[in-house]
């Protein structure tokens, strides 16, 4: 195969591109396309030649032109001798802009069937410019199987070594099985919906017994133990949307698969990622909590605050001494983005619903959290909890350290610091606290999609919220827990 530099030559001081069309494509001994690259720079000419090489290698030489539109940005003047007369016909970039895909196809077809060599006349020569083909009244839409091959050709243009995977071929083979090999303009939204319904019913395992079966034959074997996962379904839909996006570009037909996507439904109950009583005993029976064997204060206090407030690790790690406040005789954590003079300025809250006042449980008060706060200089409660990151605030370090600690204590790997939040919510839910009150205490409406009145909470005073917090009782798993004496 020739390199780009072997396809360029000088005429005067301007570089030109010459490409021979293989005789098998035009039944002629010699047939070349020559056009100006409009540059005096060898490096620019070589770069442009590489672009055109890729185009001709992947399209012309593989006869994949059907329905394909040439780039409207190509700096090119094309010239060929009409097979019907001896007049030169020049196709300029301006002509390309108004030519339909059918006209482009006809132009290349005419070029490839011309019995004459193609050449570039001198710039002073008078050149007659005329239309290549008559506009067609009816669009020649491809069959679905042809459209798929054109889609593969498009992928080859984008990536020279592209080769469809066996999964892709299966996905598109099944599309033809479900719809039939019909013209692409006949495929409507209702057909796409029918395809989705059939995909959803396919068996989860593509075992050998289904390998050579059509979709119709497979579905006759229903019901199956399990069907396609959400990911598998969306893998199919993504490929179908991409196919019809390309057909929309080439033929201006609507994409029947636009908007079709299956959302993942989390069927896992909240309790599954919560800590059960045994987990909590494993955690809080360690010397860290009973004998004060810890180096930094966050190791002792952050798990307990999370258990009794449902707060996120980022929210807890950024608490300041002035975020522990009292109102109506009730101490509370004020989760906010307020920064006072002399602070480092790093504070963020996840969303509007997360700005909240959460009453401090009496267990934490008795444990000495107020004494701990008062022992510190004004600033962060846990200045030793790691560096700030834009994504996770100060919370990343706390999470990593606790997760390693809990695994050593024997807690299941999938349960992490975040499980304190789930435990808080599950326990209060079990005690009869309503979803709307849980939203106010936890600060995240998305976890409770049935709650719509975001301003319902405006008249909820701290005494009421404190009554909800008081329902939490973990005394059986926190026996002997105490901070170390300074």
DSSP string, 455-479: TGGGG--HHHHHHHHTT---GGG-T
ω into residue 363 within 30 of 0, thus cis? no
261 within a domain of the structure (yes/no): no
pLDDT of residue 316: 94
10-residue mean pLDDT series, the chain (486 residues): 64 78 48 74 75 59 38 38 40 48 50 40 28 39 90 77 84 94 93 93 75 86 84 91 89 88 60 84 95 93 96 93 93 89 78 85 96 90 85 87 94 93 92 85 60 44 90 94 85
Does 355 share its domain with 471? yes
pLDDT at 173: 93
Same domain, 73 and 149: no
Whether 381 and 360 have beta carbons less than 8 Å apart is answered as no
| Same domain? 292 vs 406 | yes
* Confidence (pLDDT) at 386: 82
Cα separation, 141 vs 391, in Å, equals 49
- 241 lies in the same domain as 275: no
Residues 215 and 67 in one domain: no
3-class SS of residue 168 = helix
Which of 73, 96, 113 is the C-terminal boundary of a domain?
113
Would residue 327 count as lying in a domain? yes
Cα–Cα distance, 274 to 422 (Å, whole number): 5
103 and 156 part of one domain? no
Query: Looking at 251, 282, 314, which one is the last position of a domain?
Result: 251
What is the domain count for the chain?
3
Residue 301 lies in a domain: yes
**Res 460: pLDDT:** 56
Tell whether 247 and 279 lie within a shared domain.
no
Taken in order 387, 393, 394, 397, the sign of the CA dihedral is negative
pLDDT for res 482: 93
pLDDT of residue 172: 95
Domain shared by 379 and 453, yes or no: yes
Q: What angle do CA 78, 80, 82 make, to 5 degrees?
A: 140
- Per-residue pLDDT, 485: 79
pLDDT at res. 369: 95
Using CA atoms, how far apart are residues 111 and 124, in angstroms rounded to an integer?
23
Same domain, 417 and 387: yes
Q: At what angle do helices 189-201 and 230-251 cross, to 10 degrees?
A: 160
Out of 222, 251, 280, pick the residue that ends a domain: 251
263 occurs within a structural domain: no
- Please indicate, yes or no, if residue 410 is contained in any of the structural domains: yes
Which range of residues forms the domain containing residue 194?
A: 144-251
Per the CB < 8 A criterion, the answer to whether 358 and 309 are in contact is yes
Residues 197, 96 share a domain: no
Q: Is position 260 within any domain?
A: no
What's the confidence (pLDDT) of residue 192? 93
235 and 280 fall within a common domain: no
Q: pTM of the full predicted structure?
A: 0.47
SS in 3 state form for 197-217? HHHHHCECCCCHHHCCCCHHH
Q: Is the dihedral of CA 290, 295, 300, 301 positive or negative?
A: positive
Question: Is residue 144 left, alpha or beta, with left meaning phi > 0 and alpha meaning psi from -120 to 50?
Answer: alpha
Q: What is the CATH number of the domain that holds 432?
A: 1.10.443.10
Burial class, 84, CB count within 10 angstroms (exposed 0-12 / middle 13-18 / buried 19+): exposed
234, 335: one domain: no
pLDDT digits (tens, 9 = 90+) for 22-58: 554 444 444 567 778 787 777 777 777 776 776 565 4
User: Does residue 24 form part of some domain?
Assistant: yes
Overall size of the chain counted in residues: 486
Distance from the Cα of residue 249 to its chain's centroid: 23
């Amino acid at each position: 195969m020739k390199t780009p530099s072997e396809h360029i030559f000088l005429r005067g001081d301007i570089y030109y591109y010459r490409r021979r069309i293989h005789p098998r494509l035009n039944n002629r001994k010699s047939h070349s396309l020559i056009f100006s690259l409009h540059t005096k720079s060898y490096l620019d000419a070589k770069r442009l030649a590489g672009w055109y090489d890729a185009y001709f290698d992947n399209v012309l030489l593989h006869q994949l032109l059907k329905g394909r539109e040439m780039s409207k940005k190509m700096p090119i003047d094309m010239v060929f001798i009409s097979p019907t007369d001896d007049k030169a016909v020049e196709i300029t970039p301006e002509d390309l802009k108004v030519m339909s895909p059918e006209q482009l196809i006809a132009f290349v077809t005419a070029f490839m069937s011309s019995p004459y060599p193609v050449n570039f006349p001198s710039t002073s020569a008078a050149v007659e410019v005329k239309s290549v083909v008559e506009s067609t009244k009816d669009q020649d839409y491809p069959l679905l199987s042809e459209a798929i091959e054109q889609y593969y050709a498009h992928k080859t243009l984008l990536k020279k070594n592209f080769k469809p995977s066996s999964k892709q071929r299966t996905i598109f083979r099944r599309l033809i099985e479900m719809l039939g090999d019909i013209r692409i303009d006949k495929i409507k939204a209702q057909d796409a919906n029918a395809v989705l319904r059939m995909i959803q019913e396919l068996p989860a395992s593509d075992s050998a017994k289904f390998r050579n079966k059509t979709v119709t034959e497979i579905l006759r074997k229903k019901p199956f133990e399990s069907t396609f996962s959400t990911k598998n379904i969306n893998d199919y839909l993504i490929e179908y949307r991409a196919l019809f996006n390309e057909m929309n570009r080439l033929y201006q037909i609507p994409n029947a698969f636009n908007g079709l996507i299956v959302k993942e439904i989390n069927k896992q109950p909240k309790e599954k990622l919560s800590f059960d009583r045994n987990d909590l005993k494993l955690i809080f029976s360690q010397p860290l909590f009973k004998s004060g064997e810890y180096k930094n204060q966050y190791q002792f206090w952050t798990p307990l605050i999370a258990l009794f407030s449902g707060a996120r690790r980022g929210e807890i790690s950024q608490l300041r001494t002035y975020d522990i406040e009292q109102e109506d005789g009730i101490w509370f954590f004020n989760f906010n983005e307020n920064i006072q003079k002399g602070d480092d300025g790093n504070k963020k809250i996840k969303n509007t619903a997360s700005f909240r006042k959460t009453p401090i449980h009496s267990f934490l008060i008795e444990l000495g959290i107020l004494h701990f706060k008062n022992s510190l200089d004004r600033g962060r409660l846990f200045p030793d909890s790691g560096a700030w990151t834009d994504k996770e605030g100060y919370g990343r370090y706390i999470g990593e350290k606790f997760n390693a600690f809990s695994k050593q204590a024997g807690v299941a790997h999938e349960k992490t610091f975040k499980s304190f939040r789930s435990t808080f919510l599950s326990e209060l839910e079990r005690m009869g606290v309503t979803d709307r009150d849980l939203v106010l205490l936890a600060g995240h409406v998305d976890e409770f999609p049935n709650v719509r009145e975001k301003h319902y909470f405006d008249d909820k005073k701290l005494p009421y919220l404190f009554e909800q917090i008081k329902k939490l009782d973990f005394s059986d798993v926190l026996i002997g827990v105490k901070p170390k004496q300074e």
